[in-house]
Structure 1
């Protein structure tokens, strides 16, 4: 698959030049299996050979990142907090009030989550969806997305330029970094499941309860946030 991605990106850059890099990164945001850690170092290597303008590649890559992030933002906005509460009420272990707590956390830390999330493979694209669900201020979202994406894109393009025909090493080292991130995420998920199971067990011990307090909030409009 990786060879196919490289061949496709090479063809795209040969036909379109720097805009081809932007299109590849736009699609990478929407379809994470297309790895930016392959696309961008390859763009840097191509620029080092004189076949691509490095500044144009950086600008187009960042534009692709920002456009892709905004598309996913609007996916989150279309889902909306109310629909998410209904889904949570239907799911095992999760309750509508958990959605409210998550959105409250995002209200307090959302901007920096967007910024630092752009450096985490697998998360860098998906972080835009909760921002849309929370209806995060679009100016703040745009600024943090642009800043984080610009740093990430510049670093990978520069690495490809510096490494030359060894640009594939970037993907290898980022792959190791990604493995560590995924292990941490898996541990966090296990921890959350344990907490939710304990909550369910404690509530069973306390006896049957009436409706969840947040059930009465499910019909609240997203615009009140």
Structure 2
């Protein structure tokens, strides 16, 4: 995957960075931890500008995560409930879970989105409860942009500073991302195995 990411940025520049970051938010296994450090390296080499790289990365990330927010917002809480009931064990989510999540998000929504944008794998998932809780669009975009700017700036800066050694970022950031993804999978498997319906759906 690293070679494909590097080739895309090398040949497509800012457009490539934008599209890769959109995909990273739609399909989390494509890691920003590989995209933005190399983009920063390209900026250090004079192939791209730092601010152009930042702009493309932030725009792509916000666009990608906003897609999940829009889907959840359009779906709405009631249709989401029915969908989870229909999917049953596969969804591993009960109506009680949904009520608790929405209540919690109503209380800590801004901070949840901000922190979520800084955590691997959670960056995409946090958009769904934001949409279900009908978080105002302007607030979601504002907080998402702040969190995205911090994360994108950190990764781009490391690539810019480390120059040819930008790949060392992957050596310590990627294992953390992998650990978070593994944790999410383990939690899902546990909930799948222990899931019980709270009522029969006719």
Question: What interval of TM-score do these two structures reach, taking the shorter chain for normalisation?
Answer: 0.7 to 0.9
Of 60, 65, 69, which residue of structure 2 is paired with 1:69? 65
Q: 1:48: Cα distance to partner?
A: 0.6
Q: Secondary structure at the match of 2:46?
A: coil
Q: What is the DSSP-based 3-state SS (H/G/I as helix, E as strand, rest coil) of the residue aligned with 2:125? A: coil
Could you tell me whether the CA contact under 8 Å between 1:88 and 1:99 is conserved in 2?
A: no
**Any conservation in 2 of the 1:62–1:153 contact (CA below 8 Å)?**
yes
Runs of 5+ consecutive residues of structure 1 not aligned to the other structure: 204-210, 216-225
Distance 1:102 1:12, change over 3 A: same
- Structure whose alpha-carbon radius of gyration is higher: 1
Q: Which residue among 14, 37, 42 is the counterpart of 1:46? A: 42
Tell me, in whole angstroms, the C-alpha distance in 2 between the residues paired with 1:122 and 1:44.
22
The equivalent residue for 1:37 is 33
- Paired residue total: 198
Under a length normalisation based on structure 1, what TM-score does the superposition of the two structures give?
0.77
Q: Does the 8 A contact of 2:101 with 2:129 survive in 1? A: no
2:81 pairs with one of 73, 81, 85: 85
- Larger relative contact order (Cα-Cα within 8 Å, sequence gap ≥ 6): 2
Where does structure 2 lack aligned partners over 5 or more consecutive residues?
none
Deviation, 1:187, is: 5.9
Deviations 1:107-128 (A, max 9, x none): 1122111111111222212211
Compute the RMSD of aligned alpha carbons. Answer: 2.5
SS in 1 for 2:72: helix
Detail structure 1 runs of 4+ shifted over 4 Å in the superposition: 186-197
Once residues 166 and 20 of structure 1 are traced to their aligned partners in structure 2, the CA distance between those partners, rounded to angstroms, is: 22
Contact preservation (8 Å) 1:85, 1:99: yes
- 1:86 and 1:67 map into 2 onto residues whose CA distance is 27
Residues 85, 152 of structure 1: alpha-carbon distance in 2 compared, 3 angstrom cutoff: same
Q: How does 1:125-204 map to 2 (within 5 A)?
A: 125-185=124-184, 188-189=187-188
